[in-house]
Chains A and B, each alone.
Chain A
Amino acid sequence: DTGVSQNPRHKITKRGQNVTFRCDPISEHNRLYWYRQTLGQGPEFLTYFQNEAQLEKSRLLSDRFSAERPKGSFSTLEIQRTEQGDSAMYLCASRVGSGSGNTIYFGEGSWLTVV
């Protein structure tokens, strides 16, 4: 399968714990995005990487959130000291090239439930 891969698919954690999600984009895709989605809503942009450089972060991304893409391939999204409001699906997407006009491909998402 050469699509965008995310794991874990589901994570239940206690409030205050840290969680980390991993995304493996399509291999030739230099651009990688993280989005968050809650029930009944469209995805909300969190952050964007071009190769290993994190070029943009949403104001939604508080200090408890950090994302990395150390070698310009896979990416991780870590949430520290989780809160119940962090419960959502975290979507990773990747895209080739620069500019617009190329399709963004999404993974299946990682569901986070904070109890």
Chain B
Amino acid sequence: SQQGEEDPQALSIQEGENATMNCSYKTSINNLQWYRQNSGRGLVHLILIRSNEREKHSGRLRVTLDTSKKSSSLLITASRAADTASYFCATDREDSNYQLIWGAGTKLIIKP
């Protein structure tokens, strides 16, 4: 069964604006990872945040984690057309050989 749920399911913004995507999950986690997937392609790792971290930055990406609310957010600042993709959050399941459990993703469209 899916663990994470991304919200919104789809997001369309103008180039240059910031994009925020949210992820909620159900069980305790060791870490949460965000991935990007261009249409028809594989998944590209963006950032990993551990359960004892609250915020992490990587270039134009900012990820927050609130373990009390079982939620995470991904912020992409100064969006570019090349950021158009689907974004997924994934969590490690302790009871299952640390396989990642995924949501259905947020489809982000950046309009030039």
- Residue-wise interface mask of A (39-76) relative to B, using a CB-CB cutoff of 8 A (1 in contact, 0 not): 01111110010100001100000000000000000000
In the complex, A86 has a CB within 8 A of chain B: no
Within 8 A of A (CB), among B20-51: 30-31, 33, 35, 40-45, 48, 50
SS class of chain A's interface: helix, strand, loop or mixed?
Answer: strand
> Which residues from chain B contact A48 at a C-beta distance below 8 Å?
97, 99
In the complex, A108 has a CB within 8 A of chain B: yes
* Whole-angstrom CA separation of A42 from B43 in the bound complex: 10
Check A104 against B105 for contact (C-beta < 8 Å): no
Q: What's the count of A-B pairs with C-beta under 8 Å? A: 69
- Given contacts A100-B92, A109-B41, whether A56 and B50 have CB atoms under 8 Å apart is no
Distance from B46 Cβ to chain A, minimum over Cβ atoms (Å): 10
- Given contacts A100-B94, A108-B42, whether A42 and B30 have CB atoms under 8 Å apart is no
Check B99 against A101 for contact (C-beta < 8 Å): no
Instruction: Among A42, A55, A111, point to the contact of B40 (Cβ < 8 A).
Output: A111
A–B Cβ pairs within 8 angstroms, 18 of them: A4-B42, A33-B99, A42-B102, A42-B103, A42-B104, A43-B43, A43-B100, A45-B96, A50-B97, A99-B30, A101-B30, A104-B45, A104-B90, A104-B100, A106-B44, A106-B45, A108-B41, A111-B40
